[in-house]
Amino acid sequence: MRLSAAVLCALVAVQAAVLLAAVPAAQAELPDSADDVHKLIANFARKNFTVEELVILSGAHSIGQTHCSSFAGRLSEPADQIVPAYRELLKYKCSQGSNPPVVNNVRDEDYDVVARYTPGFTSRVRKVSDYLDNSYYHNNLAKIVTFHSDWTLLTHKEALGHVKEYAENGTLWDEDFADSLVKLSKLPMPAGSKGEIRKKCSAINHRLY
């Protein structure tokens, strides 16, 4: 499924606008990249999303970028949660500046960096980046995902089953992801809020005060 990062950003921004009325509320309402699976499930359930839909929407992490501050704890997690070589790759990327951006998917990483740290994964590198597909699920099972909130899906029986399901069937994930996005877009706005589609994912378009 070819979906531009800009389109996905807009969809995520709509989600944020739906969930929030003010910036402080954002931190309390939105899922955090360090959350464990039970907190994620509870967060999604408050908006009437199932465990399966949590796993489906998490697949959006097959594209886009994050910053090192969003996965700092991941850099010290044990080998049963993250492949040590991938952890070293992330450490290297984070050493290249002050909270630098890092791609979510090793598939979109610089080939030379992957060859240096995780040569076994060079075959996953693609010339076309930000291609939305089910590679997230393969990466998660291989423990080469960036966020703790991604890895933690493997610790829950039902969630793990869906991760395996979508790793095996990319066409099914395409269809289910589209349906989940439609459901996401229909969440009601907070009372008195018009919402907005952000021009930049990490910032609202206007000052709140």
Give me the domain span that covers residue 166.
33-185
Whether 61 has a binding-site annotation, put simply, is yes
| Closest alpha carbon to 59 in 167, 192, 200 | 167
Read off the pLDDT of residues 33-73 as tens digits, 9 standing for 90 and up. 999 999 999 999 999 999 999 999 999 999 989 999 999 99
Q: pLDDT at position 13, please?
A: 45
Residue 24 located in a structural domain: no
Whether 206 has a binding-site annotation, put simply, is no
List for the chain the helix, strand, coil content (%; round to 5): 60, 5, 40
Residue % of the chain over a pLDDT of 70? 76
Q: What is the pTM of this model?
A: 0.83
Residue 18 located in a structural domain: no
* Cα 96-74-126 angle, rounded to 5 deg: 65
For residue 147, what are its two tokens? 């966020």
Q: Give me the number of domains the chain comprises.
A: 1
Bridge partners of residue 65, in order along the sequence = 103
Q: Are 135 and 106 in contact (CB under 8 A)?
A: no
Q: pLDDT at position 29, please?
A: 65
Q: Residue 84 sits in a domain of what CATH number?
A: 1.10.420.10
Spatial distance between the Cα atoms of 18 and 5, rounded to a whole number of angstroms: 20
Read off the pLDDT of residues 130-153 as tens digits, 9 standing for 90 and up. 788 999 999 999 999 999 999 999
Residue 21 located in a structural domain: no
Whether 31 has a binding-site annotation, put simply, is yes
- Distances from the Cα of 2 to the Cαs of 130, 178, 184, in angstroms? 8, 12, 19
Residue 176 confidence (pLDDT) above 60: yes
For residue 108, the number of C-alpha atoms closer than 13 Å in the C-beta half-sphere is 22
Residue 88 located in a structural domain: yes
- Reported for 28-34, long-range contacts at CB under 8 A and 24+ positions apart, including other chains, are 31/149, 32/149, 33/66, 33/70, 33/71, 33/147, 33/148, 33/149, 34/71, 34/73, 34/147, 34/148, 34/149
Q: One-letter amino acid identity for 154?
A: L
Whether 130 has a binding-site annotation, put simply, is no
Q: Which residues contact 73 (CB under 8 A, 6 or more apart)?
A: 34, 148
Residue 190 located in a structural domain: no
Residue 106 located in a structural domain: yes
Residue 45 located in a structural domain: yes
